[in-house]
Amino acid sequence: MESPIKSLERAMRLAEAVAEAKDGVGVADLARRLALPKTTVHRLLSAFVELGYMEKDEAHGRYRLTAKWLSLVTRFLADLDVRQVARRELEALAEETGEVIHLVVLNEGEAVYIDKVEGRQTIRMHSRIGHRAPLHCTAAGKTLLAHQPPERRDAILRRHGLPRHTPRTITDEATLIRHLADIRARGVAFDHEENEPGITCVAAPIFDHT
């Protein structure tokens, strides 16, 4: 009798093979790729279909994955602690640059600092974990704002306005919107003493788990 581990291994190898097939794949092809008997492949495919993780194109006899796999991925990603996942990268950046490194998220139209790694430089910023900052005059905030849909961006600007924090703060909406377009094109944002005198920051977006 085949062990549960071996059965699971075969099932997952089969699922991976189906996932790699752009237009679906048939039993014979899968059996050849995986060096498995056709009866074994058919039995595993039938189980996946019954569970809702695969579907069969009856006209061509090809199998493909269903969107049910996405629910597993979504649950996994929802449980990820972004601070834990990002911490090693933050520390590596701090070590490489010697600068203060922040991890920032968008919350209720503001930038929220959810993690911070101190650098080796003598300059200290007035930031702390949990600190909230405006979007229009911080590098991280402008990065977050630049990648919002226009309607959400405009709603945030209406709600929070463009208050001046330093002589360099952008306070004209049309100018800011052009600036945000440049940020999207460059993939990076800068804050040249726009929020704190003497402080310049750089930020880049993290779109997802990749």
Q: What does the block give as tokens for 49?
A: 């279909």
Within 13 Å and on the Cβ side, how many CA atoms surround 17? 23
The verdict on residue 128 lying in a domain is yes
**DSSP symbols for 55-115:** EEETTTTEEEE-THHHHHHHHHHHH--HHHHHHHHHHHHHHHH-S-EEEEEEETTEEEEEE
In this prediction, residue 85 carries a pLDDT of 86
Shared domain for 33 and 101, answered yes or no, is no
How far apart, in whole angstroms, are the C-alpha atoms of residue 47 and residue 40?
Answer: 11
In this prediction, residue 1 carries a pLDDT of 65
The verdict on residue 98 lying in a domain is yes
* Containing structural domain, residue 114: 80-203
How many structural domains are present in the chain? 2
Shared domain for 104 and 65, answered yes or no, is no
In this prediction, residue 84 carries a pLDDT of 86
Q: What does the block give as tokens for 35?
A: 């060096």
> Where is the domain boundary, 29, 49, 72?
72
How far apart, in whole angstroms, are the C-alpha atoms of residue 59 and residue 91?
Answer: 54
Shared domain for 90 and 59, answered yes or no, is no
Q: What are 108's strand-pairing partners?
A: none
Shared domain for 20 and 59, answered yes or no, is yes
By the 8 A CB rule, do 27 and 41 touch? yes
Shared domain for 84 and 180, answered yes or no, is yes
The verdict on residue 173 lying in a domain is yes
Shared domain for 43 and 146, answered yes or no, is no
Shared domain for 59 and 137, answered yes or no, is no
The verdict on residue 38 lying in a domain is yes
Shared domain for 13 and 103, answered yes or no, is no
> Where is the domain boundary, 20, 40, 72?
72
Q: What is the pTM of this model?
A: 0.65
Torsion angles phi and psi, residue 46, rounded to 5: -60, -35
Per-residue pLDDT tens, the chain, 210 aa: give them: 668 888 899 999 999 999 998 889 999 999 999 999 999 999 999 999 999 999 999 999 999 999 999 888 777 766 668 888 899 999 999 999 999 999 999 998 999 998 999 888 766 666 788 888 999 999 999 999 999 999 999 999 999 999 999 999 999 999 999 999 999 999 999 999 999 999 999 999 998 777
Shared domain for 103 and 59, answered yes or no, is no
Shared domain for 51 and 91, answered yes or no, is no
User: Which residues, other chains included, contact 179 with Cβ-Cβ below 8 Å and sequence gap of 6+?
Assistant: 142, 170
